Amino acid sequence: MKTTKWQLGLIFSLIFGGVSFAAPETVRWTGKDDKNATLVHVLEVIRNKTGVELSQADFMLVETRKLATSQYLMLAQTSGGIPVSGLSVRIWTALNTGEVIQVEARIDGNPPAPKWSVRSAQKALSSELTMQLVRSALKNTEDPFIRKINWQDMYDNGQLVRLVKISGKRGKHRIWVGVEKKNILKQTYEEFPQADFSTEKLFSIPVQVYPIYEEVEGEDHATSQTLPRIKSELRYLNKQVRVIRGENPLAPLKERRYYDYKFDPLLGLTAEGREKGYWAMSYLKDQAEKLFAELPVMENSFSNGGVILEGKYATVSLYPEIAKLPKLAFTPSPSAKFMPTFAPIPETPENEEMIPSLAIYGRPISSLEEAWNRPARRLADNDPVSYLNDGFDEIQVYWAVTQMFDSLRSMGFTDPDLSTRPFHAFLYNPDITYRDNAFYTDDTINFTTYSASSANMARDNTTIWHELGHGVMDRMMGDHISLADTGGLSEGMADFIAQLIVNDLTGGLEFPGKQAMRIFNHTGYYLTNEVHDDGEAYGGSMNDLLENAMATFGKEGLRKVTDLTMEAMRLTRNHPELTAVDWFEHMLFADELGRAGVRAPGELRQMILKALNGRNFNMDGSAPAAMVVKNGNVELSSDGAGSRNRPIKVAAEDQKPAEFNIEVAVKNSATYQFKFPVTVKVNYTGGALEGGVHWLNEEAGSLSYTLNSEADIAKFTLGTDGRCDEVNRPDGSCVDYAYIQIWNQGETVKPQAKKRFYLRVYPKAQ
Q: What is the pLDDT of residues 385-417, one digit of tens each?
A: 999 999 999 999 999 999 999 999 999 999 999
Contact between residue 438 and residue 465 where contact means Cβ atoms under 8 Å apart:
no
Give the pLDDT of residue 4: 35
Residues 557 and 600 in one domain: yes
Q: Please check whether residue 38 lies inside any domain of the structure.
A: yes
Q: What is the dihedral of CA 603, 605, 610, 616, to 10 degrees?
A: 160
Give the pLDDT of residue 228: 92
Average pLDDT score over residue span 688-697? 88
Contact between residue 90 and residue 573 where contact means Cβ atoms under 8 Å apart:
yes
Residues 103 and 122 in one domain: no
**What does pLDDT average to over the chain?**
90
Q: What CA–CA distances, in Å, run from 17 to 60, 154, 645?
A: 17, 10, 19
Give the pLDDT of residue 421: 93
For residue 653, pLDDT beyond 80:
no
Q: What CA–CA distances, in Å, run from 244 to 251, 304, 305, 336, 366?
A: 12, 13, 12, 7, 18
Q: Which of 423, 456, 7 is nearest to 213 (CA)?
A: 456
Give the pLDDT of residue 566: 97
697: domain CATH number? 2.60.40.2550
pTM for the model: 0.86
- Look at residue 50 and give its three-state secondary structure: helix
Distance CA 685, CA 550 (A): 36
Proportion of the chain above pLDDT 90, given as a percent:
69
Confidence of residue 21 (pLDDT cuts 50, 70, 90): very low
544: domain CATH number? 1.10.390.10
pLDDT tens-digit series, residues 472-492 = 999 999 989 988 776 789 999
Residues 635 and 731 in one domain: yes
Average pLDDT score over residue span 459-474? 94
Residues 312 and 400 in one domain: yes
Counting the structural domains of the chain, the total is 5
Confidence of residue 200 (pLDDT cuts 50, 70, 90): low
Give the pLDDT of residue 222: 60
Residues 447 and 324 in one domain: yes
Q: Please check whether residue 460 lies inside any domain of the structure.
A: yes
Q: Of the residues 420, 446, 470, which one is the last residue of a structural domain?
A: 470
Proportion of the chain above pLDDT 70, given as a percent:
95
β-strands 71-79, 258-259: how paired? Answer: unpaired
Q: Please check whether residue 439 lies inside any domain of the structure.
A: yes
Average pLDDT score over residue span 283-298? 93
Residues 319 and 448 in one domain: yes
Structural domain range at position 518: 481-612
Residues 634 and 608 in one domain: no
For residue 257, pLDDT beyond 90:
yes
Of 223 and 169, the structure prediction assigns the larger pLDDT to 169
Q: Please check whether residue 669 lies inside any domain of the structure.
A: yes
Of 11-15, 91-95, 223-227, 608-612, which gets the smallest average pLDDT?
11-15
For residue 5, pLDDT beyond 90:
no
Q: What CA–CA distances, in Å, run from 69 to 11, 95, 101, 104, 469?
A: 22, 7, 10, 17, 20
Give the pLDDT of residue 10: 31
Residues 752 and 636 in one domain: yes
Give the pLDDT of residue 563: 97
For residue 661, pLDDT beyond 70:
yes
392: domain CATH number? 3.10.170
Q: Please check whether residue 15 lies inside any domain of the structure.
A: no
Residues 684 and 565 in one domain: no
Residues 584 and 700 in one domain: no
Give the pLDDT of residue 12: 32
147: domain CATH number? 3.10.450.40
For residue 296, pLDDT beyond 60:
yes
Give the pLDDT of residue 11: 30
Tell me whether the omega of the peptide bond preceding residue 364 falls within 30 degrees of 0, making it cis. Answer: no
Q: Of the residues 612, 645, 673, which one is the last residue of a structural domain?
A: 612
Q: Of the residues 470, 495, 514, which one is the last residue of a structural domain?
A: 470
What residue spans of 640-765 are helical by DSSP H?
A: none
